[in-house]
Structure 1
Amino acid sequence: MNSYQALSAYYDRFTDDVGYADWADFFERLFAREGIQPKLVLDLACGTGSLTRILAERGYEMIGADASPEMLMQAMQNTMDCEPRPLFLNQRMEALDLYGTVDACLCCLDSINYVTEPQTLQKAFERVHLFLEPKSGLFVFDINTPEKFACMDGNAYVREDEDVFCVWQAAVEDSLCAYQFDIFAREGGKWTRAQETHEERIYTVEQLTDMLEKAGFSEIKTYGDQSFAPVRGGEDRIYFTARKRD
């Protein structure tokens, strides 16, 4: 997993096209499809808390967990006027440690790919399973697909506004995709530069299904990008749902 020490301050500017409300709509349709009405929801790898806030506003009791203290600081600022306010925890996925069980766990925006060691991800799945409510607990996450990473390989991307310029390039090798970020920010009359490197691992549906089963999950399902269509190949993003066994 990677730190967002420099990127955290600008993350929301660079992801203003994500459409978090659409994600929340999709998750609520998933809840209905799975026949559950969760009250307490964990937003795992919650980042700056954009989704956490929307779900809190829709009446869910929210817990947000993230490995980056910088991202959590943004999340706390973004949810200051929520009532009740979400609880935020500075925890890595594989070290998840809650005070009790949750009804559902959501892990969004390819955060699973950011766990680059398979054995660490296996441990993370086991921790999620441990803290889900028995019988009804639902785990939902998405991944970037191998096909998407193949299209990204070697490409460069730019996001900018009047005060910040960010450029990054993706490079794929040995099932890992590395992003080198260069961030130029204007402060007064000067520009400062910061650099970060992030990595994501390319996982297949088969690998993740096997890991979920080993962690104790059942009723594992996969869907195309924010749809209930079966995975046919060529998707950029795939969603997983899994239930905690009785």
Structure 2
Amino acid sequence: MQRVPFSALASVYDAIMADIDYSQWADYILGYARAEGLSPGTALDLACGTGAITAELQRRGLEVVGLDGSAEMLAAARARLPETRLVQADLRTFELEERFDLVTCVFDSLNNLTDSADLGRALKRAAAHLQAGGLLAFDVNTRAGVRDLWDGEVLEGLAPLPDGREVHYHWSHHYDAAAELGTVQAFCRLIGTGQPDEEQEEFVELHTERGYDMDDLEPLLRAAGFASWEFCDYPHYHEPWPETPRIWVFARAAGARA
């Protein structure tokens, strides 16, 4: 019943995450870019998953390439975006031929890199794929965010699926203070349409994250070669406070345009 992270979950991910306002996230990213005098025309969406942010950036006129390590998540993205270029690759080692005005990585995807050296490698790959003066935009759960993920440490609900079934999900969170790692046990049960002899499917995935604070990120951004960066709270671009559970990071590549 236990599956590799982001494998079986791909079939129900969009149903469970239906309340996430990816549109506002896209506006938040592009709003920051405009305030910096940037008008990105191309974007690379790292850890694109099922393509939700990829699609929102495309709707706003950008030419977008999506990249993810999960074949199952990319299959769901291809169903959503059949004309979009989607690449399966590792965030720490990927190499594409082109460079982009904007690189994004949203929904705390980088927290899944639980070794800070791996996060540093991913940031270096992101920097290497930006045009001069380009912008990297990503969000991460802080140490406080990973420690105190949900009130009551449980997220549970029932969501409809496109094929008429429903998914019952029960996700529980455990924080290992000694290792400073948070693990979500994501249990999902697919409830059928009531047809005779219909099999009931269920699975569990374990998702582990490390929280990263501003003091953790600054040396990694510097080592990756970024010229400047700013940490922001959502949705008003305020400076984060010490116990902010999630921060947004906007980092500029060297050679900023005038």
**TM bracket, shorter-chain basis:** over 0.9
What is the letter of the counterpart of residue 233 of structure 1?
P
Aligned with 2:76: secondary structure? Answer: helix
* 1:39 aligned residue: 41
What is the letter of the counterpart of residue 201 of structure 1?
R
Kindly report which structure 2 residues correspond to 1:96-115, keeping only aligned pairs within 5 A, or say none: 96-115=94-113
Q: CA deviation at 1:190?
A: 3.1
Give the TM-score, by structure 2 length.
0.89
* 1:18 aligned residue: 20
* 2:224 aligned residue: 215
Q: CA deviation at 1:218?
A: 2.0
Provide, for residues 141-182 of structure 1, a one-character-per-residue CA deviation record: whole Å limited to 9, x for no partner. 101122222323761111213621111111111111111111
| CA distance, structure 2, for counterparts of residue 231 and residue 192 of structure 1 | 42
Do structure 1's residue 172 and structure 2's residue 170 form an aligned pair?
no
| CA distance, structure 2, for counterparts of residue 89 and residue 140 of structure 1 | 19
Q: Is the 8 A contact 1:226 1:239 kept in 2?
A: no
| CA distance, structure 2, for counterparts of residue 46 and residue 61 of structure 1 | 14
* 1:51 aligned residue: 53
* 1:127 aligned residue: 125
Kindly report which structure 2 residues correspond to 1:85-234, keeping only aligned pairs within 5 A, or say none: 85-134=83-132, 136-152=133-149, 155-161=153-159, 163-173=166-176, 174-187=179-192, 188=195, 189-234=198-243
Give the TM-score, by structure 1 length.
0.93
Kindly report which structure 2 residues correspond to 1:55-70, keeping only aligned pairs within 5 A, or say none: 55-70=57-72
Q: Is the 8 A contact 2:146 2:209 kept in 1?
A: no
Q: CA deviation at 1:130?
A: 1.0
* 1:30 aligned residue: 32
Aligned with 1:211: secondary structure? Answer: helix
Q: Is the 8 A contact 1:56 1:86 kept in 2?
A: no
Aligned residues: 240
Of residues 189-198 and 145-154 in structure 1, the stretch that sits farther from structure 2 once superposed is: 145-154
Q: CA deviation at 1:12?
A: 0.4
Unaligned 5+ segments in structure 2 are 161-165
Q: Is the 8 A contact 1:225 1:235 kept in 2?
A: no
Cα 1:243–1:161 change in 2 (3 A) is closer
What is the letter of the counterpart of residue 171 of structure 1?
H
Q: Is the 8 A contact 1:155 1:169 kept in 2?
A: yes
What is the letter of the counterpart of residue 20 of structure 2?
V
Q: What stretches of structure 1 move > 6 A for 4+ residues in a row?
A: none
Kindly report which structure 2 residues correspond to 1:64-83, keeping only aligned pairs within 5 A, or say none: 64-80=66-82
Aligned with 1:193: secondary structure? Answer: strand
| CA distance, structure 2, for counterparts of residue 4 and residue 151 of structure 1 | 22
Provide, for residues 180-223 of structure 1, a one-character-per-residue CA deviation record: whole Å limited to 9, x for no partner. 11111124433222111111111111111110101111211000
| CA distance, structure 1, for counterparts of residue 96 and residue 32 of structure 2 | 24
Aligned with 1:93: secondary structure? Answer: coil
Aligned with 1:13: secondary structure? Answer: helix
Aligned Cα root-mean-square deviation (Å): 1.5
Q: Is the 8 A contact 1:3 1:67 kept in 2?
A: no
Provide, for residues 62-85 of structure 1, a one-character-per-residue CA deviation record: whole Å limited to 9, x for no partner. 0100011100011111113xxxx3
